[in-house]
Structure 1
C-alpha cells in the first residue's frame, strides 16, 4: 500500500502531492557569492605570485518557478524554469556597491585565445586594448561583476564580431541567469513508466551536447537536479544535468542521517568529479586539461580560458592552491552535499559549492599581459543552498513520512485484529467440544447397551 501511495505522490502529475513543490519550489534558496579580491595586481604583472583575500558572502534570495509547462504524449513534460535573484543585505557581509579588484576577464581571456595567432593580430589587439583603456586587472563593484557593466570594448566586439560573445550589451558573470531560464527541459513524468521518473529526455531539444570530445562526456544523464526517483538504497547515485556546468554530474552516497526528524541519505561529489583524464580516464573527453581538480569549461563559455572546481581548489592537485597566496581548502567549508529523503527522492537540505577561475599568462605581443606567470587564478566561488522548512516541512512530514508510516503500522494492526477475529470462533468451537461441557455428555438414548455375560441368566435368578 505504501509503495503505491508514494508513487502517486511523487510523480509529475497535477493530482500528486509533490506537483506544487515541483512546479514552484517552496524551499527558500539562497545564492552566496565569495569574491577573491586581488591584493597585488601590479606585482602579478611583474611575474610575482598572486595574493588574494576572500570577500563576502554577498547573499541573494533565489526564486525559481516553472513556466510553459506542457505535458506530452510520450509520458514527458516540457518546461522552462525562470530564476530571479534579490540581494539580502542583512545576510551579507558587504554591499553590492563594494569594489573588488579582479582580472579583466575579457582582456586576459582574449589574450590567451590570441596566443597562437599571428603577431600582427596580437599587436592590433594591444592597440585596441590601449584605445579602450583595457587593462589586465579591473576595479568593479560587486553588482557590476555579478549582473553586468557597460563597456565600449564589448560594444566594438559585438559590432564587428557579432558571434564572438553570446551576450549583448552588459557583461557580467551571472548576467544571463537573472530573470531568465536555463533552457527547455523535457523530463519523464513517471505517470505511465515510473522507472524513468524525473529523468531528462531532452534539453533544448537534444539528448546530448557537443561541447566535449567524447560521447560519454556529452551525454545528458540523470534528472534536472531537483527531484530523483524514490526508494533509494546506499548503492544509488545522484546524477543530474547542469546547464551552467554544461555537463552531467554524478554524486555518490556518503552516509545516513536525519533532517528535522526525517531520515535522509547524504550524497557528495566523488574525488573524480573534476579529475583530469590522466587521473580518471573517463574525464579525458573534458580535456584539454591542466592539473587534476579543475575542469576546462572554455568550450561552453565563448572559448575563454575558464575553469570549474571546488572552492579554494579543494580536492584538487595541491600545486593549484599553492600557486595563489590566501587560499585555504577545507572539506568542511568547501565540499558540496545533498541530503535526500530516500523514500520519496525529494531533497531536504542542499549545499552546492563551485568555483570559477581564469587561466592567465603573459602573451608575447600583447603588452597588457606584462610578465604574468601562468596560473589558474580564482575569480569567485558560490554556494546555492536551501533546506525545507515551515509549513512545507510540516506538510511533507505529515503526508509523505508520518501518514505512510501510520498506514504501514495500520496494516499490521488490521492483520492482528483479523487474526483475533478469526481465532475467536475457532476457540469457541474447541471449548464447546471439551470433556466437561454438556454438549460432550451422551444422552441416555444414545448410551451403548450393557456388556452381557453368558452367565447373566443364572445371576438374575428365575424369570417370573
Structure 2
C-alpha cells in the first residue's frame, strides 16, 4: 500500500550553452549536464479494489520533495533548454494545412518566440511554465495538439496526483504464483494504443511486486510514461546486502527499432530509426518525445555525433535490477532514463526551415534503491524459514520420541511396582 522508506531520485538537466550560435552553419548544439537536483519520493496506492478474477485494481500516488543538502545546485538555477512547446507545436504543424503553418509562423514572430527557453530548474521540473503557444493551439483547434494541462513541466502535475499514472489492474497470484504482480490492464485496456503488434501489449510488473524469477531469462516492467513494456535480460547473479539475487540489465535490445532485432520494429513502424531511442510521441500527446539511456549510452553513435557534451558511462547510465529468485523480492535497483526531443525541418515555419534533423537531450533521471538493513534481515529470515521450520520439525519429532519412550518406561516401571506390591 505504501513504500516503507523514501526513494531518492536524482534529476540532471541539460543546459544548452551555445543557443545563440544555432544559426551558424556547422555549429553543433552543446549541452552541459547540471545537477543532480535530488528529490525524495514515496509511493502509495489509492482506489484499491480486489476483483473476483484474482486481480487487484489501483492508482499510484507519487509524492516528491526537494532535498537541498543532497543536491548540487538550487531550484533557482536558470537553465536554457530547447523549448519543448515550440518543438511540439512544430512537430504537429507538419501534418496541418499550410495556412495553419503560416499562422503559427506569424504568431511566433509576433510574440518573439525562440527555440531557446531559459527558466529556473523548479519551473522546468514541477512548477510548470505558462506558454502562449498552448493558448494558440486551443484557439486553432489543432486536434493533434491536445496537451490536457494548463502549464508545461517535466513532472507537472505528477506530484501527489492519483490519476497521472493511470489505473492499473494487476494479478494477485492467488491462483498462479507466477502471475503475481503482472499488469493485466492499464486504464481498463489490455493493449496500448501507442504501438502495434507485440509492442503494444500490456504486460510486466510495476517494478515493486514480483513473482519468483528463479528460471526467468528476462523480466518485463510496464512503464506508463512510455505506454509500453521494458524488457531486461538475465546476466548472472550477485549478492546484495547479504542476499543473493538474479541480475537483470538493459542491453542494446531495450531501445532497438528493428535495426538489430527484427521483433522490435513495431516500436518505430513509420521509419527505421537508428538503435538506441524509443519513440513515445503517441504516448505524450504527439510531442516529438523519445526515451533513451542517459547520454545515449548503448545507442547508435549518430545521436552523439549530431551534438556535443555527451559522455556515456556504463556504471552511471545503466539499468540494473537484482531480484531474490525464490520469492521474487527486489533487493537492489538502479534505473536511469533520458528524455529527448527530436528536431525536424518544418516548411512554413522559418525557425525550423534550415535546421538539421537531430535528437536533443532535455534531462535524465536516476533512481538507485537498495533494501535497508532491517528489511534485508526480514528477507533473510523468510529465506531461512523453510530450513528453520524443518529443523523445528526434527526437534519436535525427537521430543515426541523421547516423550513416547519416557512414557513407555514409566508405564513399565509402574507395572513392575504394582506387581511387587501384589506379591
Alpha-carbon deviations, 1:95-136, whole Å to 9, x = none?
111111100111123223323544433221111112233211
Alpha-carbon deviations, 1:325-370, whole Å to 9, x = none?
1111121111111111112112111111111111113433212236
CA contact (8 A) 1:234 1:253 kept: no
User: What is aligned with 1:238?
Assistant: 219
Task: Rate the CA distance shift 1:389–1:152 in 2: closer, same or farther, 3 A.
Answer: same
Task: Rate the CA distance shift 1:169–1:261 in 2: closer, same or farther, 3 A.
Answer: same
CA contact (8 A) 1:201 1:207 kept: yes
SS at match of 1:406: helix
CA contact (8 A) 1:26 1:392 kept: no
User: 1:242: Cα distance to partner?
Assistant: 0.9
User: 1:170: Cα distance to partner?
Assistant: 1.2
CA contact (8 A) 1:28 1:386 kept: no
User: What is aligned with 2:102?
Assistant: 123
User: What is aligned with 2:211?
Assistant: 229
User: What is aligned with 2:130?
Assistant: 150
User: What is aligned with 1:137?
Assistant: 116
Question: Hey, what's the Cα distance between the residues in 2 that align with 1:365 and 1:266?
Answer: 51
SS at match of 1:334: coil
Q: Which one has more relative contact order, counting CA pairs under 8 Å at least 6 apart?
A: 1
User: What is aligned with 1:401?
Assistant: 383
Alpha-carbon deviations, 1:20-64, whole Å to 9, x = none?
xxx111132122111111111122233411111111111111110
Question: Hey, what's the Cα distance between the residues in 1 that align with 2:393 and 2:314?
Answer: 44
SS at match of 2:90: helix
CA contact (8 A) 1:338 1:349 kept: yes
Residue 12 (structure 2) aligned to one of 24, 34, 39: 34
Q: What is the root-mean-square deviation of aligned Cα atoms in Å?
A: 2.5
Segments of 5+ residues of structure 2 without an aligned counterpart are 407-423
Question: Hey, what's the Cα distance between the residues in 1 that align with 2:332 and 2:111?
Answer: 47
Residue 279 (structure 1) aligned to one of 260, 267, 270: 260
Residue 367 (structure 1) aligned to one of 350, 355, 361: 350
Segments of 5+ residues of structure 1 without an aligned counterpart are 1-22, 426-464
Which stretch has the larger CA shift, 165-174 or 62-71? 165-174
TM-score (norm 2): 0.88
Task: Rate the CA distance shift 1:370–1:141 in 2: closer, same or farther, 3 A.
Answer: farther
CA contact (8 A) 1:57 1:92 kept: yes
Task: Rate the CA distance shift 1:215–1:149 in 2: closer, same or farther, 3 A.
Answer: same
TM-score (norm 1): 0.80
Alignment length, in residue pairs? 400
Task: Rate the CA distance shift 1:37–1:153 in 2: closer, same or farther, 3 A.
Answer: same
1:328 counterpart = 2:311: yes
Alpha-carbon deviations, 1:414-433, whole Å to 9, x = none?
67x49997xx99xxxxxxxx
Residue 251 (structure 1) aligned to one of 215, 232, 242: 232
Question: Hey, what's the Cα distance between the residues in 2 that align with 1:35 and 1:329?
Answer: 15
